[in-house]
Amino acid sequence: MLSLLLWPAGLLIELLLLVRSVQTKTFTKYIYFYAYISCVFIVSAGLFIGHSRLEFYEAWYWPTQFATLAMGCAVVLEIVRQALTAYPGAERFARVASWVVFAATFCYAEWHVARRTVWSTSNATVELERDLRVIEALVLATVMAIVFYYRIELGKNVTGMIVGFGAYVGVSVASLALRAFVGPRFNAGWGNLQTASYFFALIVWTVALWTYSPNPDPPGGGGGGGGYDALVDGTRARLESVRSQLGGVAR
């Protein structure tokens, strides 16, 4: 019931987001993000039109779900690109950490599948979606950790993208895990949670992306790369000095 109420409302908000992106000329600035919104809008509208015919809905739900799931990775890419592009060092950190997260999750999922003795297509589908959401969640968490650690300033647009998508992914991971554990009995709850969290994300995106608000420029200086070794050497030397002093105090 909740899903049926929020579904058309979500479609309207998606349309509003897309129209607004053209008006404010932000469509090209956040191209991956709006490509995702466009993809979800087309898929949702198609499913909404055909949802009264059960066989149509069942035949198209999972293929389109995977299309939007794959496009969700584009939102993560957009977030990394927009949040860290002005900070090459932090961006490099995020890129390497994201690959490590991806490889570790992929290996874990493979190992998990290899151990399984009983195979069920519906469960495998849910688990695949859950694992992909886990990768998105971990990459988002990594990016946020880097943003906090390096004290990177984010604009309203990117903050909104992260909060909206992160909330949706976080709720998806938890609800998909419960769905995999409880089984089909949890389908109704799972559907409502997914729809409500996506609706929340849409509201956050609409508010955050109503006007163009880019990230503040980082303070000038540095960035050349030539001074990094000197910076690290200097920081290490200072750390050593202070540590030896503190060691002396503790004795």
Question: Using the rule CB under 8 A, which residue among 79, 90, 101, 202 binds another protein?
Answer: 90
Contact set for another protein, span 163-182 (CB under 8 A): 163, 166-167, 169-178, 180-181
- Alpha-carbon gap, residue 158 to 213, rounded angstroms: 8
Question: Using the rule CB under 8 A, which residue among 92, 103, 187, 189 binds another protein?
Answer: 92
Question: Using the rule CB under 8 A, which residue among 93, 190, 198, 199 binds another protein?
Answer: 93
Number of residues that bind another protein (CB under 8 A): 75
Mark the segment that binds another protein (CB under 8 A) among 13-21, 30-38, 51-59, 93-101. 93-101
Q: Does 57 bind another protein (CB under 8 A)?
A: no
Smallest CA-to-CA distance from 43 within 28, 63, 58 is with 63
- Alpha-carbon gap, residue 197 to 169, rounded angstroms: 8
Q: Does 230 bind another protein (CB under 8 A)?
A: yes
Token readout for 239 is 């750390």
Token readout for 83 is 């949040």
Token readout for 151 is 């004290």
Q: Does 63 bind another protein (CB under 8 A)?
A: no
Mark the segment that binds another protein (CB under 8 A) among 15-23, 26-34, 61-69, 82-90. 82-90
125 neighbors 63 (Cβ within 8 angstroms): no
Question: Using the rule CB under 8 A, which residue among 8, 46, 88, 189 binds another protein?
Answer: 88
Q: Does 191 bind another protein (CB under 8 A)?
A: no
- Alpha-carbon gap, residue 198 to 201, rounded angstroms: 5
Question: Using the rule CB under 8 A, which residue among 55, 63, 119, 219 binds another protein?
Answer: 219
Contact set for another protein, span 125-144 (CB under 8 A): 130, 134, 137-138, 140-141, 144
What three-state secondary structure class fits 189? helix
Q: Does 50 bind another protein (CB under 8 A)?
A: no
- Alpha-carbon gap, residue 203 to 169, rounded angstroms: 15
- Alpha-carbon gap, residue 145 to 148, rounded angstroms: 5
17 neighbors 209 (Cβ within 8 angstroms): yes
Q: Does 224 bind another protein (CB under 8 A)?
A: yes
Q: Does 196 bind another protein (CB under 8 A)?
A: no
Give whole-number Cα distances, 158 to 94, 102, 166, in Å: 16, 22, 12
Task: State the nearest-atom distance from the C-beta of 160 to another protein, in Å.
Answer: 9
